[in-house]
Chains A and B, each alone.
Chain A
Amino acid sequence: MTETTTPKRGVPLWAQITIWVFLAGLLVLVGVTLGKRQQGTVQPGDAIPDFTLPLFSGYEYEGKSEVKLSDFRGRVVVLNFWASWCKPCEQEAAELEEAWLFYEPSGEVMFLGADYVDTEPEARSYLKKFSITYPNGPDMGTKISQMFRIRGVPETYFIDQNGALYYVKVGPFTSVNEIKTLVEQKLP
């Protein structure tokens, strides 16, 4: 006596493969996104990719309405993220300007201000209030802050003459000397 069994009709192999590939891709996407979120800020030693900072009218640099990081290769760059609504930013605004005025004549150091998630009228009032003169501009589309993966403001990034990050200051500076000490780590 022989018994015949009818094969079960299941999901076709191509459909199974497609579903599994799709699910794996989705998991990778979620993993990468979560990984990026957990990464924290860029780390000292990391080479900073080039970026363009548009400048507020009145805060241009040598007549240019936007600057690139690569424009300052060979100089120490102090990149400060700030916002007019940020109270701790006010604590360091005068110190940053004082440090800029100190280093500006030498041409060895460049200060840049990136205004984070702010409105232009309020940003301008802030710059005027603290008599800031170094190039400042909005972080359009929050692209630069996302590249640095900032966690808030104020945060300041010290970039050496070769375009590599060498120090990250989270929170406001407490004195001009603190800024000078950090800048001079990379000055001859």
Chain B
Amino acid sequence: MKKFLFILTLTLVLAGLFTATTVFAQGGVTDDEVNAIAKQLYCPVCENTPLDVCPTEACRQWRELIRLQLSEGMTEAQIKQYFVDNYGARVLAEPPRTGLHWLIYILPPIFILGGAFILFNSFRAWTKPQSVEAGTGGESGAASSSPERDEYVARFEEELKKRK
């Protein structure tokens, strides 16, 4: 029992020491705190790779800079603004809602609504003749399939035959 307690205590002490060393060696800023901001940024050198998972040296330097800025007390918004000022708005994972960037937010809903409208109209047009055959109404559709129309066509063809 004593041996078990000794091993347990030792493990806890070592784990505590390791955690404390890791955190304090980085100025009290954890990797999670750095990555929470880093995942919102993209380095222009490594397109399409978020900063938090980018393995290049340039991205490692950026993450270290974020860590340094966090340890200096800068807020998330201030850090993101610093990166925008230094490297341009293209580093942001979520483009700012200004200028032409608005198109990114406006176009998809417009296209979706436009597509839905076209689909709705198409489906309505396809279903109309069926409802006419079922006798539910629709004057223009009825004109092409009603008995009167058939009779007229028959008479018309008869007249044509006579004229030959």
| Residues of A in contact with B (beta carbons under 8 Å apart) | 1, 3, 5-6, 26, 29, 83-85, 117-119, 121-122, 138, 140-143, 146
Contacts and interface: CB of A to CB of B under 8 A. Distances in A.
Interface stretch (B4-12, B59-67, B70-78): B59-67
Given A140-B85, A142-B88, A143-B88, A5 B61 contact: no
B130 to A, nearest CB: 18
B44 A5 contact: no
B32 interface: no
B88 A6 contact: no
Contacts of B58: 83, 85, 117-118
Nearest to A123: B61
Contacts of A146: 88
A5 B143 CA distance: 9
25 contacts: A1-B152, A5-B140, A6-B139, A6-B140, A29-B100, A83-B58, A85-B57, A117-B45, A117-B87, A118-B58, A118-B61, A119-B61, A119-B62, A119-B64, A119-B65, A121-B65, A140-B86, A141-B84, A141-B85, A141-B87, A142-B44, A142-B88, A142-B90, A143-B88, A146-B88
Nearest to A141: B88
Interface in B45-69: 45, 56-58, 61-62, 64-65, 68
A141 B86 contact: yes
A140 B45 CA distance: 15
Nearest to B100: A29
Given A5-B140, A117-B44, A85 B88 contact: no
Contacts of B88: 141-143, 146
B11 to A, nearest CB: 38
B43 interface: yes
Contacts of A138: 86
Contacts of A85: 56-58, 61
Interface in B71-130: 84-88, 90, 100, 103, 107
Interface residues of B, number: 24
Contacts of A26: 107
B16 to A, nearest CB: 31
A3 B65 contact: no
Contacts of A122: 61
A6 B141 CA distance: 11
Nearest to B46: A117
Interface string B138-149: 011001000000
B134 to A, nearest CB: 21
Contacts of A119: 61-62, 64-65
A23 to B, nearest CB: 10
A85 B65 CA distance: 14
A3 B143 contact: yes
A5 B149 CA distance: 14
B76 to A, nearest CB: 18
Contacts of B56: 85
A95 to B, nearest CB: 22
B45 to A, nearest CB: 5
A142 B85 CA distance: 10
B89 to A, nearest CB: 8
